[in-house]
Amino acid sequence: MSSSNPNKPKLIQNGKRISGRSFTDLRPLKITAGVLKQADGSAMIEWGKNRIIAAVYGPHEVFPKFLTDNRKALVSARYVMAPFSSLEDHGRSGPNRRSIEISKVAKHVFENVILTNKFPKTIIDIHMDVVQSDGGTRIAAITAASVALADAGIPMKDLVAGVAVGKVDGELVVDLDKLEDNHGESDGAVIISPRSGEVLLFQMEGLLTPDEVKRTVRLASDAALKVREVQVAALKERYAQVASEQGEQLL
Ligand code: CDP
């Protein structure tokens, strides 16, 4: 996000974004559940040019044992960007300040939706690996992890979904791509629980007026409903696939 860059491209022309999208259009979005055989639950999200795999292991025993909570499951979340995930130089693979921050906020989101009291003395591990990045990866990663958790059969209050909303050439636009993210005036990542309407994550860079903040949440809530439809479709397809595999085994 940089508004003072003299090389900033014109992001909105004739009322349309550079990609041809309207202000509220999402990039093409596809989610596939159950992409990994060994994980308890998994999902691959293809959102714009983002490609992210989420894997869930658990609930399983906590190690080291002294960290165990007798009343609930612990949640661990790990977001990483592969060194080859964008043209920017990411050096070697592994955590950095940004990925530690995103892992931490993802953990807080999932602690708020997973029914952790159903699995005391255990831990649920959530991995989110970005293999191709194109802006909005934290949102896409959390959206995919939510499907991976459902695929693992982990009970949750809701499937959480999100979108980035930002200010680009003075307009609020939904689902920023990398160019808009890098050159817009503001960039906000919002994760919603569509069932309750609760905002579980709101991170923002740049400046917005109080009215723009309210509009950001409204735009994100509307977009989250569209994202949720794609999540539900992915899970239905997964259940149909599992049912047909089980049917074949019975024959
Ligand atoms: O991905 P998200 O928008 O949640 O996070 P960001 O920190 O606002 O980064 C915006 C985009 O810049 C990412 O999605 C990547 O495409 C790119 N980026 C990158 O390639 N390497 C980084 N170390 C950080 C960001």
pLDDT per position as a tens digit, 199-242: 999 999 999 999 999 999 999 999 999 999 999 999 999 999 88
- Tokens linked to 62: 């906590």
Tell whether ligand 1 has an atom less than 6 A from the beta carbon of residue 137: yes
- Relative to the CA of 1, which ligand 1 atom is closest? 8
- H helices then E strands: how many in the chain? 4, 11
Sketch out the chain's domains with CATH numbers. 12-250 (3.30.230.70)
Pairing of strands 122-132, 74-81: parallel
Closest CA to ligand 1's atom 24: 98
On average, the pLDDT of the chain sits at 93
Does 9 score more than 90 pLDDT? no
Percent share of the chain, pLDDT over 70: 96
pLDDT greater at residue 70 or residue 247: 70
Distance CA 191, CA 218 (A): 12
Model confidence pLDDT, tens digit, residues 64-82 = 999 999 999 999 999 999 9
For residue 177, the tally of other CB atoms under 10 A from its CB is 23
Asked if 94 and 80 count as a contact pair (C-beta separation under 8 A), the reply is yes
Does 165 score more than 70 pLDDT? yes
- Relative to the CA of 102, which ligand 1 atom is closest? 4
Specify the residue for token string 């980035």.
164
Tell whether ligand 1 has an atom less than 6 A from the beta carbon of residue 183: no
For residue 8, the tally of other CB atoms under 10 A from its CB is 15
Percent share of the chain, pLDDT over 90: 81
Best residue among 98, 134, 178 to mutate for probing ligand 1's pocket (most ligand atoms within 8 Å of CB) is 178
Q: How far is the CA of 225 from the centre of ligand 1 (A)?
A: 24
Q: Which helix (H) or strand (E) holds 119?
A: none
Note the Cα 69 to chain centre separation in Å: 27
Burial of 28 (0-12, 13-18, 19+ CB in 10 A): exposed
Total length of the chain: 251
pLDDT greater at residue 131 or residue 7: 131
Contacts of residue 95, defined as CB under 8 A and 6 or more positions apart, other chains included, come to 78, 80, 103
Q: Single out the residue of 45, 20, 21, 9 nearest to residue 174, CA to CA.
A: 21
Tell whether ligand 1 has an atom less than 6 A from the beta carbon of residue 178: yes
Distance CA 58, CA 39 (A): 9
Give residue 247's pLDDT.
81
The band of 249, judged by pLDDT with boundaries at 50, 70 and 90, is confident
- Tokens linked to 131: 């293999």
For residue 19, the tally of other CB atoms under 10 A from its CB is 13
Closest CA to ligand 1's atom 25: 135
For residue 227, the tally of other CB atoms under 10 A from its CB is 27
Model confidence pLDDT, tens digit, residues 96-118 = 999 999 999 999 999 999 999 99
Distance CA 152, CA 166 (A): 33
Specify the residue for token string 């200010």.
167
- Relative to the CA of 96, which ligand 1 atom is closest? 23
Does 86 score more than 90 pLDDT? no
Does 125 score more than 70 pLDDT? yes
